[in-house]
Chains A and B, each alone.
Chain A
C-alpha cells in the first residue's frame, strides 16, 4: 500500500500559523475534558434531584420526574443538541436570543453542548438514583418514618446516604458515556477532539495518523476515568450490600 506514514506531522506548524498540529489536538482534548466535566456536574445535580423525585409518594412530582426522564431518553442526542443550539435561541425572548446569537461562537457552542449533554445525561443518572433508592429494603424508609422523621428527613438521613453510595458503580459507566457522547458536539462546530481530528485530516492529508491519535486520546480518557472510578468505588463500597460486593 502506497501510503507515506509521517508521525512528525504533529510537530509541523499548523496552517493557521499559531502553534503546531499537536497543539490542535491538545486544544481539542482540553475542550472535550472541560465540556464533559461541566456537563457531568449538571447531570449529577439534576439527576440526583429528578431521581429522588421519581420515588416520592406525591403523584404529581413523581409524574413530572418520570416525564422528564422519558423526554430526554427518547429523543436522540444529536436532535437534542440541534434543538438547544438552533431552536432554543429563536424561542427565547428576542433580546436574550439576540444576545446569545451575538456572543462569541465558541461560547454559543460550548453552552449549548454543555446544557445538552448535562440534561441528556441527567435523565440517565436519575434512573440510576431511582433504582438505587428502590433497591434499599422497604424497612429502611418505614423505620425512618416510625422513629418520627418527616419524609424529607428520612430521605436526608436514612435513604440517600445509602443510595448515593450504591449508585456509584452504575454511574461510572454514565461518566464514561459523557466523554464519548461529547464527540457528538463536533456536529455544531465545537472544536473538541473529534472535530479536531476531522480538521487534521483536511489540513495535513495524513488521515491515518490523525484518526489514530484522536482515537487513542479517547481510549486514554476512558482508561483514566475507569482507573479513577475504581478507586472511588472501592472507597464508597457498602460492605455486604448488593452492588457493593
Chain B
C-alpha cells in the first residue's frame, strides 16, 4: 500500500506541476501584453516574468525525476522486457489475479467519477466567467480527482 500511495502522490504532483507551468506561461503572456500596452514598466514585467519562469523548470523537473525514480523499480519480465502495464502501475502485482480484479473494479469507479466530475467542471467554466487561471487548474483537477477516486476505491476493495 505504501507503493500505491507513493505512486498516487507522484502522479498527482505531475498534474499539479503541468498546471503550474501552463499557469506560469499564461501569466508571463499577460504581463507581456501589459508591457506592450505600456500599462506596466519593464522592471515589473521582468520581475514577474522571472518569477513565473521558475514554474517552467523546477516543478516538472522534480516530478520528472520522481517518476523516473519510480519506473526504475519496475521489474522486467522473464524475457527482459519492461511490461507497459507494470510501467504504468508498478505498485500493483500484475501476476496476482485478485489485484487484477480489484484494479478493474477501481478503474470502473474512477471512470464513473471522472465522467460526472468533468460535467461539473465544464459547467463551472461558465460560473467562473471563463477565468483562464480557474480553467487551467480546474482542468488539471480532472485527472487528479480520477486518480484519487481510483486510489480510494482500490483501498476499499483491497481491504475487503
* A and B bind: no
Interface residues of B (CB under 8 A from A): none
